[in-house]
Structures are given as C-alpha cells and as structure tokens.
Structure 1
C-alpha cells in the first residue's frame, strides 16, 4: 500500500513538472550544501500533511515528517536535515547534501502535500562551482592580522581593517559584518583579487569586544568562507565607588565589610585601600570580577583614632597612567560605657532628697539616660557634657527616696550606636552618720603625725575631727581635715586625742588615742643607751594598738550588718567618694513615669577605657553643674597634695572654685 502511494505521488509530480518555475542555485564543490524548500519556512496544516524531496523526478530522497523505519528502508545511506548544525538552525523541510560533487548536479523537486489544500511544488536546478579564496584581514600598514583579535585600542584611536579575497570563479560577493550586522558589501564578476575595508574611527567604549567578520561567497546553498577578528581595548573606569549605603558610622571594635566597585575598567585593575593616607594591611581582602564589574571587599575594624579619617579606594590600570579613587570620611564611635566598674554605695534617708550622678564615656553624646529602680520603675534624664573631659557625659537624678527604694539602682545611657551594655550600678542602702575613722600614730616626742583611714561616709560628705585633751579633759587643740591627716606639736603635759568623723546627718563614734604611748624609733632613752628600747613600753604599745584595732573591726562589722539591706548579698563599696551633688528633687515618688521600651542598634562591644572617678560635694540648693574631681590614691589613708575642681554652696548659690589640699 505504501509503495502504491509513493508511485502515485511520483506520477503526479511528473505530470506537473512542465508547469513549475525552476530556481537556479549554486553549491561549492566538496563542501556541504542545504537546499531550501520554497522561499521561506513551510508550515504543514495537519497531521497528514508532509514534504517529499525528489531528484530528477525519479529518485526519492527525503520525506518530512518521517519514521525511523522509513528512513532505514528507503534511504539507508542518506543524511537528512536536522534542526541545528553547530550554532546554525535550519528548517527541517530543507534537504541536506554533504560534500557535494559533480554527481549532485541536477534538478531537485520539493513537493508540499497539504492536508486541506492542493499540493505545491518547488524545483531547484543545482549547479556545482569551484570555491573562492579564503578571506585574509590586514591592517592599514598592510600587515596581515593572524591573531583572533586586534588592539588593544584606547579611547579615540583609529584603525582600518582590509579584507582581501582571491576570486577564482565569478561572481563573488564580499561582506563585512560588525556583530552580525552588514556594514560593507562589494561584488565582482571578474576573477582576480578583491579588497574591501572597514574603518574604526575614534574608537568608543562600544568597540570593546566588537566582532568584525569578512565573508566571501560565490554560492547560494553553501556556507561562505570567513575571517573574524575581535577588538580588544584598554579602558579607564567609568566609576569608582565605595558603597556604604550612606552609612558612614563605624562602631569601635565591630568588623564591617566595605565594598569598592569599579565599573568599566579594562583590563582588570589593581585596587588598594588607604585609611588616613596609610595603606591598609593585615585585613581580609578579596576581589570579584564579573564582566564589566570589579569588586574589592575590605573587612575593616575601626578604632576611635580613625574617627573623621578618610577611607580611600584607589584603582590603578597597569596600561594607563591615571590613578582613580573614591574617598569617604568615617564617623567612628562607640556605645556608652560606665566610668567605674564596681557598685557605688549610696546612703539614702526616707523622705530626704537624694541626687545621684551617672558618668559615662560615649561617642557621640548620649541621647538620654535611663534609670531603673529596684521595683522596676524607670526614669529618664538628659545628658550634659563634662567640662574638660573628652567623650564624657553625665546626668543627675534627684528624687525623694522611700524605704522600698533600697536595693540596686541601674543607670544606662543610649546613643546612636545602641544602649550601654553594662550599666552603672548603685547600691541604695540606709544612710546616716559616717563610720568612725581608723587612725595610726607616727612620729616622735617632738612631733607626732596622725594618719586616718576614713570609713563609709553614710551618704554625705564627711570631715575628720581631731581633739587633743589633757588628762583633766580640757581641749588644748581642735582641728579638722577632709583627708584625715594631722600633725601635733610637742606638749609639756600628758595628753590624749579624740578622733571622729561627721557629716550633715551627724557624727560618728569617737576613738581615743593615747599620744604618750608613742615612742619614735629614732629616740634613745637617757637612762639606758645600750638597751635601745624599753620592753615595758613595747608591750604596752603593742597591747594598746591591738585593743584599738579589735574595737574598730568589731564596730565596723556591726555597722555593716546594720546598714546592709535584708536579704542582699552585694558587697558595699566603702571606698566611694566624699559625697554627691544635691539639689531640689526633679520628681517626687508619685510622679515617676511608666516604663518605656527603647529600641537600640545591636553592635559589637566597645573598647575598654580606664574609668575616671569623680567626687561631688554636698549641695542642698542652687544650680547643678557637672565637674570632674581627680581622686588621689583612691582616698586611702594618705591624701597627697593635688588640685580639685568642685562645686560648693555659698548660701543659696552654687559656685565653682579651685581648692588646694
């Protein structure tokens, strides 16, 4: 049945052959050829439609669509058309002829058998011709370009490309393509040498990697011969940019990745980073090249010394002389941190106004301070810059304490980098009179020196008092000293000394010192120069000192137990300062605002800076002002000479003066 249908089709083709137009096409000898069916793509109108290829109306060559069994049976040695060959795709209805020879000359018929309409025939008269010469490309100097590229060129340069073809059989057509688009065309009807040129004038960036192709062809169904060159260029960057998304703020100690993006630089440039004019080394640095982009990533951990320094990304093209760069100014800071690390003990009295100063280091300035009471209630205060201290800010809180305020009070500041990680901690305990000082006596009979170690001040500035009395109780010498250091001249009678501390809340217990029992190590008794000292005096002094020391220790322990908040396990710091600023209260107990949540940025921890200790004199009214007082020897038993700048009250006016101790 199948053979019958083929025979009928061949007979019909033969009958219609005399009425068909014939196309004359050429193919190059010994090269592949592809014959098209019709003058465009053929569309079949149904599943029963098909295409037949015949040669000389006798030999059946190809059917589309087809089955594998038909191909093997009818044309076991033929190669049929495929959709794509290499990078070129073709219509499956075309007829593919490999490496044609003179035997392939003749007439080829393509008959399209439609399902719903009459069949259409296309006839091709195929001629075999000799190949033309392979194109060669030369520059304007006549030098043949043997590499697959030309250049590198720079912006604005000129170059001429000449295509030369040896024409062996006319007619021959030579075409110049730029990126697949015809820019020049020339034809010749006589054998010989054919030349055609194309000019690249004032080269622009779009010439980078442009493909210029010269083709020569004297056939219709054979791929033309071609020669191709690609333009290479040296290009400066279009843009160099440090990308920080307008966020130039770096937190101290927090690593951050910074990108430098270079656009349009050819070849790949060298990128260096500079901070404050110094080449950045020993840091994570990587580069990414993606076509027209080069990205250098720098992991930068800034210090406070880098604040307001310029970060530069410098780009250097090895083939160009100019250095290209981008600069940004860094803003380096850190979140607030407390100037002291230990808990500060504050003695409060129910119903008596109390002021606490919170001192922090911060860059930039805090936007506010947050105070959290033991009962979880919160107060907010503003920040004030400390005079003469860089990056130090303080804020005061004044309130009327109640008994339930006993416990730990926390102070935290917040700035643009976030909230203070470790708060300033104050242990609120019951205040009152100060503890008695612990004094030692030194010197000789001619002059004695009393050095006192102050105890806890009870929450207010304390002063040490010394009274020298005769055995009859008459006061012969009375003096005070804020540090507790006294000198007593020699006296003709036996005397004793009474030492105690006082503040605005009262005075401590008195301690008695027997000045006659002290003997200098340099003195020598007149009655016994060989002994060097009296064993009786030694035993008396030793036993007296031991008794006084035991009494002081017992008294301190009792006071410690009485002043400790019930259930509290926090060790009170007895080595705090001489007092705090005080003024009229900001709010009363009932005026405290409710808790408020503060959203802050989360960054890395700040660098540790040695805290600056401060002392605030006792003030009852007047205007409050922040000043730093340099503490000497952590307020130990010796108060060395130094200058303190503080606030002092004169009547109802708060003044600042300079004191020499």
Structure 2
C-alpha cells in the first residue's frame, strides 16, 4: 500500500501549497492571468473540500497514443468546470492545464489559448492535448515515450462544487528488442533525469528481452566510463549496469544504451538515452552597466549574466538593500549554461552612491548565493557626473 501513502502525502503537500497561493491571489480575483505557469491556479477557497477518484491503470505501447481519463462533470450539471490541472509524480507544479475562465466555450482562438503544456515534459511539439469531447475527458499523449511513464493526477476545479481529483498510473510497454533503462528502485529513466546532488552516484540498469536476448552496449558518456558491467542473461532477458558520479563534469551528459544484433548491418537495433541533470551553484556572476554614470530620471538598462548554475538559476536585483520586485526583469537562457537577466531602471538623484546588486543561486541550492554589485553614479543638472568605482565579485 506504499502508493496510497505516496498519493496522500503528495496531495497534502499540493493542497498546502495551493492554499498559500490562493490567499495571495485573492486580491486579484476576477483577473485573467497570463498564459503559462502563472495562469494555472484556480479561483477557489482555501477551505474547499476535495473528492478523490479510484486509481486507474493505463498501458500504452511506445510510439502510440496514451489516453488518460479524467471526469470533468460535477454532481450539479449546471456547474461548469473552470480549470483542470495535471500533475506528474511528486511535482507540485502542473505539467498541463485546461483553463475555461474568461472564455465563452465556443470554437476559435479562445479555445486554443486555454490549453497549456510544459515544454520540458511534452517538448516544443506539445505531444499532449486534453480532449473534452469524450466521456470521460482524456489527456491524449501522442508518440508515447518511456519518460512519459509515471503517476499522474488530474485536479478538476468547478465554479461552485468541490474539487475532484483522479489518479492514473501510466505504464509504457516496449516492443521486443527495445532497451529500457531504470534505476535500482525500478523507476524508468529516459530523457532528462534528476537533478541529482553533486557527488552522488547514479546506478543505471539497462535491460531488453528477446528470443534470443539481444546484446546491450552503453554509449555516449557511458562508453567513456568503461561501458558498464558485462551483459548478464536470464532466460530471454539481458541486463547490464552502469554507475555514474553526478558532477559538474558529467552534468548534461547524454548516456545511451543500445541493443545489438550481429545479423543487422550496423549492429545497433534500438537506442534509448538519458540526459544527466545535476544540482550546481553558479560559477560566475557578471553585472554590466551602460557606462561610467547614468542620467537621473532616464530609463537605463543593466545586464546580469550568470554561468555554471543548474537548473536555471534564480536571479534577483537589489537596490540600496531593497529587492526590486516591481521592475520584472526579463531572463533568457543563452548557450553554454549561461542565463542573462536584463533590468530596466530609472535612477533618481537620490540613488547616487547606493549599491545595485545582482544575486543568483540555483533554485535547489538556495544556500549557495553568488552576487556582484556596482555603486550607482547618477548625473543630474545640479551635479557633475562621477564614475563607477571598480566592480568587485562578492560571493556568499
């Protein structure tokens, strides 16, 4: 019954998180939030009750379309569904949403805009789509991959009725001769995996079945690490092991496992791969100013570049010891594990001589903060301009 405890704990964490967010959003009642993760939260009270459906098991063949059911009808036929959120495994942030708030229910652009999927899960091609034309409604996952396997939960919010949650487990069935990578606990590993702590050892098992069982070979970083253990065969099942130490040198490395067959011209039949994610603090923070001084009352852009952090870092701007939360700097990801934040600031004469600070840290390592600062030199008609003091890297 371990899965029951997992689902209960996961639901409890999510409910606590939701209550805090809803309390903060209560001041924004009636406002349609922008597309994306910020617009995925339902308008509901923190004390609402929630019904739970029974666990549903779904099996889909690799490459086919998986259909995950979710009932979106309340006990009151006149009570419309406002929001459907889909969660995967223990995540407290949705991987997919269906939002009908602010739409008229008709066809057209408004319908297309109310569905959102996390690109990190479904890719840029958006393999998932929530189909409300069936009973029950279904989350369709096209071209099912091994990494889609896991525990899902759809959470349905109505205008007046209690929320409803449906639990679904998705098992992806591989064709004969196709390799499968999993960890020591049996969890399937495919695509981005982790993030793991720096210095931890990730033990991977690659297996495949067939008659006779195929050969297996590690590739990518796996081949650089010695190719793993020898292949063991039990009946029609073949297995091999590989241990990888998560570190800065192995972060974002691709590891493959392929089935081999001497009768095939290239030898390789099928390949599955993983990309190792590692929690890493920033290595460098660089704060760029537009010049030696800035003009008071005129908007000026500052750029902060952060390199070496994984996953994408949290970047904060501080002025005179106060965090700038209303300026909404834009953050983009550049090549080479570099993130860039651009701040548009209108300095006032009173900001002359105060520090402007850029802080950065990995979201999973909040205790490892790195920052850089400059002292603003604000020029006004009543003051001769001065220059910026030399900038110095400061870490904490």
Compute the TM-score of the two structures, normalised by the length of structure 2.
0.46
Tell which has more relative contact order, 1 or 2 (C-alpha 8 A, sep 6+).
2
Q: Give the number of the structure whose alpha-carbon radius of gyration is greater.
A: 1
